[in-house]
Structure 1
Amino acid sequence: MTWSILARDEHGHFGVAIASRFFAVGALCVHSRRGVGALSTQALMNPLYGPAGIEALGSGYSAADTLSTLLAADEGRDQRQALMASPNSPTHGHPKFPQAAPSDYDPSAWMAKRAAASLSL
């Protein structure tokens, strides 16, 4: 199991932490640039989200728009989890949906949705 938390403080500084049973998970999952944004991708992570996401955030796109664009172009999006924050927009996340979920399963109640304007888990 892998957990990520992403936060932005009142000064616009970003922080990302990730914990997993996989060795050196942070080397490919966590991406950030001072003053631009931060993101974490996990599950069957896509390492291309990092450079493309940071570039889009740097061009002024919101976290929601950036993540939507990345997901739309990714055929494996249903197997991904991602969290993203920019300096001036709320954090945004995308959960991986289990293939055989019970009918009452609501991923929005937890995974990548424990979010406030400046925090996502």
Structure 2
Amino acid sequence: MKLATELLKGVLEGLVLQRISIDETYGYQITKYLNEHGFENIVEGTVYTILLRLEKQQLVETTKKKSSQGPARKFYRLNAAGEQRRQAFWQQWDFLTSLMTTLKEHNENA
């Protein structure tokens, strides 16, 4: 199912934070992860824009590492502030989906 761009914009940052929380990673791996989990239309440019914003907001730590397949890569890992943002995202997500489910069930039973 293709997701509306507007809806996706609101959740991509949380999904990127979630992926980084698994282990240290770099942009292409994040894009590949999202693509493999149903977000086929997400491109690297979108992910790198989010990573840049996360870095500016000081939610991630970065390390450059040599790559055997080209130039050095910038790896990202969550810091404490990033972990707090990730947790807040999922709390907001759970709250929103709970409300939406309640509304949907109410309308179906009306």
Shorter-chain TM-score above 0.5: no
Task: Looking at secondary structure, tell me which structure has more helix per residue.
Answer: 2
Task: Looking at secondary structure, tell me which structure has more strand per residue.
Answer: 1
**Greater Rg over alpha carbons, structure:** 2
